[in-house]
Amino acid sequence: MSVQRSTVIFAWILLLPAVLYVLAIVAYPLVDTFILSFTDASLKKTTNWVGWINYEKIFNERFAEVIFRTFIWTFFSVALKMVIGTFGATMLNAAVPGRSLFRLLTMPPWIVPMAIGIFMWGWMYNGQFGMISGMLQRFGLVDGPVAFLAYGSTAFWATIITDVWIGVPLVTIYFLAAIQSIPKDLYEAAWTDGAGRWYRFRRITLPLMVPAIITMSMLSLIATFNSFDIIWILTQGGPSGETTTMIIDTYQTAIGSKKYGEGAARAVLICIFLSLFCFAYFRVTRRLNPEKRA
C-alpha cells in the first residue's frame, strides 16, 4: 500500500467519528422531517401518506402573513444590531478615559442567561409595575399605564428591542476585533493628510469592515430567523398572532396542535429559507475573496 493511500485511509479514520455524528444528529433528523412532511402524522390517528397536501395548506393567506412578519422581524432586528454594534465598536476603540470599563459593561446582556434576560424585559414592559411604563408616566409622556405586550404593534417592536439587547454585545465585540485588526499605518497616513474622524471612518474603517459585517450579518440573520425563546417567553406569538413568526407557528402546529406532518412541512420550509441565506452568503464572500474567485 502506498504512503499516499495509507494517509488518506488514516485521515478518513480520524474523520469517521465526526461523519457519524453529523449523520446521526443532522442528516437523519433532516431526512426524517422531510419524509414526515408528506404524511398526516398526529397524536390521535395512524400515519398515512398524503403527498403535497401539507405544503398546500401552509401556502394560504395566514401563513403568507407569518412569512412576511418573520422577514420584517428579522430585518429590523439584524439591521439594528449591525448599526448599534458598529457604533459601539467604534466608541470602544476610541482612546477615551474608562474604555476598559465601557468594554466590561457591554458584556452583561450576553453573559446573563437568556431566559432571565427575557423575563427581565417582560417585567419592564409590564403596564402596572414595569419600569418603562412608569418612566413614561413620570415624565408626562402618557396618561396611564402602557401594557406594551398587550397590543400587537407595541409587542412586535418590544420583541425586536429585546432581541437586539441580547445580540448587540457579541456583534460589538466581533466588530471591535475587526477594527483593531486594521493596520494603524492607514490611519496615520490619513491623519497626516488632514483627514478628519468621519472621513477616516468612511474611507478606511467601514470598507475594511465589510467582510466582518457580512459574516456577522449572516450569523445574526440565521440566529434571529430561528429565534424562539424571546417571542415565546414574552408573548407566545400573541396578541392575536401579531408576533407569530415561522418558528413560533411551526411549534404551535407541531407541538401545540399535535399536527406533526403539517409542522414538519413548515420546518422544511424554514430549512429551505436558511439554505438560501447560506447560499447567498457563500456567493458574496466568494466575490469578496479574490483567491477563491480565481
Please indicate whether residue 111 or residue 269 has the higher confidence score (pLDDT). Answer: 269
Please indicate whether residue 156 or residue 26 has the higher confidence score (pLDDT). Answer: 156
Please indicate whether residue 161 or residue 109 has the higher confidence score (pLDDT). Answer: 161
pLDDT at position 270 over 70: yes
Q: What is the pLDDT of residue 187?
A: 81
| Rounded distance between C-alpha atoms, residue 284 and residue 215, angstroms | 10
Please indicate whether residue 1 or residue 175 has the higher confidence score (pLDDT). Answer: 175
Mean pLDDT value across residues 1-30? 81
Q: What is the pLDDT of residue 230?
A: 93
Q: What is the pLDDT of residue 147?
A: 87
Contact 33, 267 (CB under 8 A): yes
Q: What is the pLDDT of residue 78?
A: 95
DSSP label at 257? S
Place 294 in a pLDDT band, splitting at 50, 70 and 90.
very low
Per-residue model confidence as pLDDT tens digits over 171-183: 999 999 899 888 8
Cβ within 8 Å of residue 251, ≥6 positions away:
228, 232, 263
**Cα→Cα distances 72→31, 220, 230, Å:** 29, 14, 16
| Rounded distance between C-alpha atoms, residue 126 and residue 181, angstroms | 43
Total-model pTM: 0.86
| Rounded distance between C-alpha atoms, residue 181 and residue 173, angstroms | 13
Q: What is the pLDDT of residue 279?
A: 87
Contact 186, 204 (CB under 8 A): yes
**CB atoms closer than 10 angstroms to residue 294:** 5
**Widest distance between CA atoms in the chain:** 85
Per-residue model confidence as pLDDT tens digits over 72-119: 999 999 999 999 999 888 888 876 676 777 777 777 787 888 889 999
Place 1 in a pLDDT band, splitting at 50, 70 and 90.
low
Place 291 in a pLDDT band, splitting at 50, 70 and 90.
low
Mean pLDDT value across residues 198-205? 84
| Rounded distance between C-alpha atoms, residue 58 and residue 258, angstroms | 16
Q: Can you say whether the dihedral through the CA atoms of 86, 88, 93, 94 is positive or negative?
A: positive
DSSP label at 164? H
Of the listed ranges 46-50, 169-173, 216-220, 257-261, the least confidently predicted one is 46-50
Q: What is the pLDDT of residue 122?
A: 92
Q: Is 126 left (phi over 0), alpha (psi -120 to 50) or beta?
A: beta
Q: What is the pLDDT of residue 196?
A: 81
Of the listed ranges 52-66, 75-89, 241-255, the least confidently predicted one is 52-66
E strand or H helix at 12: helix 3-22
pLDDT at position 3 over 70: no
Contact 245, 70 (CB under 8 A): yes
> Cell digits for 68?
412576511
Q: What is the pLDDT of residue 246?
A: 93
Residue 123: is it exposed, middle or buried by C-beta count within 10 angstroms (0-12/13-18/19+)?
exposed
